[in-house]
Amino acid sequence: MLRVGVNGYGTIGKRVADAVAAQPDMEVAGVAKTTPNFEAEAAHRRGYPVHAAREDRRDAFDDAGVPVAGDLDDLVVESDIVVDCTPAGIGAENRAVYERHDTPALYQGGEDADVADASFNARANYDEVAASDAEHVRVVSCNTTGLSRVLAPLDEQYGVEKARATLVRRGGDPSQPDRGPINDILPDPVTVPSHHGPDVNTVLPDLAVDTMGVTVPATLMHLHSVNVTLETEAEAAAVAETLTDESRVFLVPGDARVAGPAHLKEYAQDAGRPRGDLWENCVWAESIAVEGRDLYFFQAIHQESDVVPENVDAIRAVCTDTEAAESVVETNRALGVGFGESEETRRVAADGEGAAASADD
């Protein structure tokens, strides 16, 4: 069993901890928090050992009645790998702690790419990261994850001459009342490209991609308007089949009458998803259109959860000899990723990789 420490127990950290706990080959060594707030109390109730990320805050945990298992150094020592889910910029500061104890670490997409030895997306470059022996790996951001999941198979199947995406981004998560705008629509950034295109190139270095960003007063999800010039012509139905075969892409059927992210969140909640999470890209099937070699579609990305399965796969890529397809199937099965069994799952099961894991699907 891999012992995984989670440093930071906020929007991403609590989801990563639960995802790790669900895996048959992993366990949560503990979580680190700076403040004994409601999330720290929730971690304790879930049975995760809570560590004080800062020694000078330890008394505050005692005062709040949250038992403290140790400090951050203790958690790092007890872990085979640490997943850093702290706010952007803090992960870079924490790298020295992980290095001091010779403990591998994962970082989130809010960090600059140079915080790590490699950036990671399971669909784009699992094998490359696994073969590199990198011990400090950055899981790319929610938007970059979403773009990589669709651009990688499109490039493999048809070739991508140029990809362009406009990212309509939520102003803040539901738990971030200090974010905005309250009543505006902001080019963010006003310069082109936004950082997302270059970030895609950290996992798909040969792909030509440009991105533009817009921030709106919403909290639910991001919405991408994607245009891809393919190297070969394709029919819309064939593209839909290509995307359907991706286990972390959900083609939203037209008869579901899903108008937007609000309906998608309701869809996830009705499906019994924890916290209403959508780990998959949500691509509207009816939006897929092709004119010549130009492909168009809309997709929605749940910023709170789509990187969670990627973190689990990155743990295996860094710490084990598990192959990409086997890890993806195992992660998906443990979490319940996929509103329907994908061709990828069927193919891996048929090949014998993860067949036992797929038996209950």
Q: What dihedral do alpha carbons 282, 26, 127, 13 form, nearest 10°?
A: 50
For residue 63, count CB atoms less than 10 angstroms from its CB and return exposed for 0-12, middle for 13-18, buried for 19 or more.
Answer: exposed
Nearest to 146, CA basis, from 128, 180, 169, 130? 169
Residues in the chain: 361
Residue 302 and residue 276: Cα distance in Å, rounded? 10
Query: Which element (helix H / strand E) includes 181?
Result: none
CB 113 within 8 A of CB 72: no
CB 52 within 8 A of CB 72: yes
* Cα atoms in the Cβ-side hemisphere of radius 13 Å centred on 255: 0
Question: Quick check: is 282 catalytic?
Answer: no
- Provide the edge-to-edge strand list for the sheet that holds 2-7: 70-71, 50-52, 26-33, 2-7, 81-84, 105-107, 136-139, 118-120
Query: Which element (helix H / strand E) includes 58?
Result: helix 58-64
Q: Which of 85, 142, 282, 319 is catalytic?
A: 142
Q: Which residue numbers are catalytic?
A: 142
